[in-house]
């Protein structure tokens, strides 16, 4: 699918378009005129964190996914921006804090779903966007603000955070252009490099963010938990480890 085809099919007000959001906007001198979009799956057993199974059960992997998502949403909620959006595959649960506009994910591959999320958010509020996933629970409001600020000031056209596994954990854009993402092979060892090259080939001024560990494997989960003591993710992982260490009930 080309960028022109994508925009032609999914104009605001057309089939499947989203309605204008409602949110409380803080005073202008207290916030960045930007928006943060979290693209995530509902933490349902068997659909999330499947690379953690084994050693964890699908239910335990879903617990870790929910903890990671909760930490991520908490960081976003603590960032002074005009709007917070959750582009969700599934249904919201009690883990969703207040102050988020929820939109449905659409598209086939991840590249299309990213473009959908960015386009749907931008068409209802034409401000710079920062998109992240749910696999970096160690993200902080300071990091997110550092990604949004250059876009707001106009000193960068894009902000970008590479993931340690070769992917990327953050993509910020001053303006949405589907051609910047569509067709980039996702979930590959060189996805991050290819996405960065796409931004560079477009002649964008890019501000790089620190490289983060993207939690997919048990080792990555342990590394992130060790780096974020007291987080929901670290607490959840520790609880699962303690549970596994306990002898089965009734065994003498």
What pLDDT score does 16 carry? Answer: 37
Locate tokens 């342990």: which residue? 222
In the chain, % of residues over pLDDT 70: 86
Reply yes or no on whether the pLDDT at 156 is more than 90: yes
Q: Is it true that the peptide bond before 54 is cis, omega within 30 degrees of 0? A: yes
Mean pLDDT of the residues in the chain:
89
Going by pLDDT thresholds of 50, 70 and 90, the confidence category of residue 244 is confident
Task: Read off the tokens for 43.
Answer: 């933490």
Q: How confident is the model at residue 20 (pLDDT cuts 50, 70, 90)?
A: very low
Residue 239 φ/ψ, nearest 5 degrees: -65, -40
Q: Which of 4-8, 203-207, 222-226 has the lowest mean pLDDT?
A: 4-8
Is residue 191's pLDDT more than 80? yes
> And the tokens for 73?
């949403």
**pLDDT-derived band of residue 23, with 50, 70 and 90 as boundaries?**
very low
With bands split at pLDDT 50, 70 and 90, how would you rate the model's confidence at 33? Answer: very high
Looking at residue 125, its pLDDT comes to: 97
Q: Do β-strands 129-132 and 168-173 pair in parallel, antiparallel, or remain unpaired?
A: antiparallel
Q: How far apart are alpha carbons 161 and 133 in whole angstroms?
A: 11
pLDDT score at 251? 47
Kindly state the average pLDDT of the residues 192-210.
98
Cα–Cα dist 115/134, whole Å: 17
Task: Please give the pLDDT value at position 246.
Answer: 78
pLDDT tier for residue 243 given thresholds of 50, 70 and 90? confident
Tell how far CA 127 is from the center of its chain: 18
Confidence check: pLDDT of 74 > 50: yes
211, 195 Cβ separation under 8 angstroms: no
Residue environment code for 210-236, b if the CB has 16+ CB neighbours within 10 A, otherwise e: eebbbbbebebbeebbeebeebbbbeb
Within 8 A by CB and 6+ apart from 46, the residues are 58, 62
Model confidence at 13, in pLDDT bands (50, 70, 90)? very low
Give mean pLDDT, residues 115-127: 97
**Average pLDDT for residues 179-199, to the nearest whole number?**
97
Backbone torsions φ then ψ of 36, nearest 5 degrees: -110, 130
Q: What is the mean pLDDT of residues 86-102?
A: 97
Q: How confident is the model at residue 245 (pLDDT cuts 50, 70, 90)?
A: confident
pLDDT reported for residue 130: 98
Predicted pLDDT of residue 17: 38
For residue 21, is pLDDT > 80?
A: no
% residues pLDDT > 90 (the chain): 83
């Amino acid at each position: 699918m080309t960028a022109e085809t994508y925009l032609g099919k999914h104009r605001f007000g057309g089939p499947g378009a989203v309605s204008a959001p409602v949110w409380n906007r803080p005073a202008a001198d207290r916030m960045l005129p930007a928006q943060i979009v979290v693209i995530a799956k509902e933490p349902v057993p068997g659909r999330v964190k499947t690379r953690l199974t084994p050693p964890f059960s699908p239910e335990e992997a879903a617990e870790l996914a929910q903890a990671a998502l909760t930490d991520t949403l908490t960081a976003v909620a603590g960032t002074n921006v005009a709007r917070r959006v959750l582009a969700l595959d599934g249904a919201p649960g009690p883990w969703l804090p207040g102050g988020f506009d929820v939109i449905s994910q659409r598209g086939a591959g991840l590249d299309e779903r990213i473009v959908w999320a960015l386009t749907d958010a931008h068409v209802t509020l034409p401000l710079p966007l920062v998109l992240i996933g749910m696999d970096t629970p160690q993200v902080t409001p300071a990091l997110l603000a550092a990604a949004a600020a250059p876009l707001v000031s106009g000193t960068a056209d894009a902000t970008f955070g590479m993931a340690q596994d070769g992917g990327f954990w953050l993509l910020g854009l001053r303006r949405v252009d589907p051609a910047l993402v569509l067709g980039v092979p996702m979930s590959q060892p060189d996805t991050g490099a290819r996405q960065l090259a796409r931004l560079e080939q477009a002649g964008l001024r890019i501000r790089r963010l620190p490289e983060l560990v993207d939690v997919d494997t048990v080792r990555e989960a342990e590394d992130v938990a060790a780096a974020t003591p007291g987080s929901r993710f670290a607490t959840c992982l520790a609880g699962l480890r303690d549970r596994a260490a306990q002898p089965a009930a009734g065994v003498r």
